[in-house]
Structure 1
């Protein structure tokens, strides 16, 4: 329901400014939230899930083209690619990808505000923008988290809980 009616140029500036402020405010908020809020979730990753990302979404073709917003907000940890294979790094990546997912989910939520000053057709365009700007990032982060979970699961399977022998972990090569 449109409450304010502005001229075209003012509406365009309002939309751009609102998205800019919302994206950067939400992103900043998520960088200062405590790590412990994002540490607890441990996904399971089945071969079917990874196959869905690969065969249906063809995620490997496009995920590296997405921008890494960490650069824009001064965050040190980059999530565009898994850069190392050591367990400590993978746990940090998993936490930061979880943080990124939630940041993108929350970035979609303010879209109803755009119905306050836009005509319905434009406001629905803002819905499309919010989904187009965030859903691919969410999918990429979930895909990378699922890959990390698989690596960590394989390490746990290879290294026995207790036995006289230690087998070599092939994922550490």
Structure 2
């Protein structure tokens, strides 16, 4: 049973990460309802959650795939690159939201307390990544607009 948790989670997460790469960039525009930054977010993430102090500790999941777009560091100030970077922060955010959802699958064969543990794991692993994408995207949009 324990083996199904250790194999199940990574398989589900890799499947989501792989499949989301087939979705068109139009779904990851920074002005769509889900990805749009709210006025309060930047200050909240900087002052309360202190994202700049810990975001460097997060792994860059792009290394999982040969064609992955690396987001650990800004690689260029070219406008096409910046626009793609912005799209990829949206893709990464949606991917991490989707990677939380499979926790309920474990409810099919696990006791209730295990399902709560799985939800806890999903939140701990994905929420920091979601926050980091939401912190970085408006900054990238600002830089991109200044290049035009």
Number of the residue aligned with 1:22: 12
SS in structure 1 of the partner of residue 21 of structure 2: helix
Q: How does 1:66-85 map to 2 (within 5 A)?
A: 66-85=58-77
Contact 1:38-1:95 at 8 Å conserved across structures: yes
2:108 is aligned with 1:91: no
- Specify whether residues 18 and 44 from structure 1 end up closer, same or farther in structure 2 by C-alpha distance, changes over 3 A only: closer
Counterpart check, 1:60 vs 2:52: yes
Query: Residues 96 and 129 of structure 2 are in contact (CA less than 8 Å); yes or no, is this contact kept in structure 1?
Result: yes
Change (3 A) 1:44 1:86: farther
For residues 55 and 40 of structure 1, do their structure 2 counterparts lie closer, same or farther at Cα, with a shift above 3 Å needed?
closer
Residue equivalent to 1:13:
3
1:38 paired to 2:28: yes
Q: Distance in 2 between matches of 1:40 and 1:147?
A: 11
Matched residue SS, 1:109: helix
Q: How much has 1:49 moved relative to structure 2? A: 2.7
What TM-score, normalized to structure 2?
A: 0.87
What SS class does the counterpart of residue 76 from structure 1 fall into? coil
Any conservation in 2 of the 1:31–1:75 contact (CA below 8 Å)? no
How far the C-alpha of 1:125 sits from its partner, in A, is: 0.4
Tell me if structure 2 keeps the 8 A contact 1:44–1:146: yes
2:63 is paired with a residue of what secondary structure?
Answer: coil
Structure 1: tracts of 5 or more residues without a match:
1-10, 160-173
Offset, 1:69: 0.9
Corresponding residue SS for 1:83? coil
CA-to-partner distance for each residue in 1:37-86, whole Å, 9 max, x for gaps? 2236364564x432211110110111111111110122331012223223
Larger radius of gyration: 1
Per-residue deviation at 1:128?
0.1
Counterpart secondary structure, 1:75: coil
Going by fraction, where is helix more abundant, 1 or 2?
A: 2
Q: Answer whether contact 1:54 1:60 (CA < 8 A) is retained.
A: yes
| Uncovered stretches (5+) of structure 2, i.e. residues with no partner | none
